[in-house]
Amino acid sequence: MTGLFNLFGMIGAGCFALCSLPQIIKCVKEGHASGVSWGFVFMGIGGNVFSAAYLIHADLLAGVTHWPIYSNYAVAFILCLGLLWLKVWDWLRGIPRIKLMQIRIKK
């Protein structure tokens, strides 16, 4: 039974780790990240960093390791950095496409 729950934990960790991947794929296909909020990006990065720091600290005190969860946080953090890069790239290019469309409609 423990093996089954470990499998559930690994599947859940994989889902959490990869949950930003569909958004990254969508942004790359559309050529912009205007549909992603800055809050989502920064909350994702902060959540991964602070949760990982807590878990690693608690594991060091307890003398245990949780490598599947560490890898979950690492993958999720890298994907959130990917979203941050896409948002910064949009910001450096200027007005996002959605705002350009809104300006055209107003004319």
Out of 39-43, 48-52, 58-62, 89-93, which region has the weakest mean confidence (pLDDT)?
Answer: 89-93
Position 94 confidence tier, pLDDT thresholds 50, 70, 90: confident
CB 98 within 8 A of CB 34: yes
Residue type, 20: S
Give the Cα separation of 80 and 57 in Å (integer): 22
- pLDDT, tens digit (0-9, with 9 covering 90-100), for 43-61: 999 999 999 999 999 999 9
Is residue 70's pLDDT more than 50?
A: yes
% of the chain with per-residue pLDDT over 90 = 50
Higher pLDDT, 104 or 79: 79
Return the DSSP state at 63: T
Tokens 């953090």, residue located: 77
Query: Which positions ≥6 away from 89 have C-beta within 8 Å?
Result: 33
Residue 105 has pLDDT above 90, yes or no: no
Mean residue pLDDT of the chain comes to: 85
Residue 74: other Cβ atoms inside 10 A? 13
- How long a stretch of residues is the chain? 107
For residue 95, pLDDT over 70 is answered with: no
CA 32 to CA 44: how far, in whole Å?
19
Q: Judge whether 24 and 83 are in contact, CB under 8 Å.
A: yes
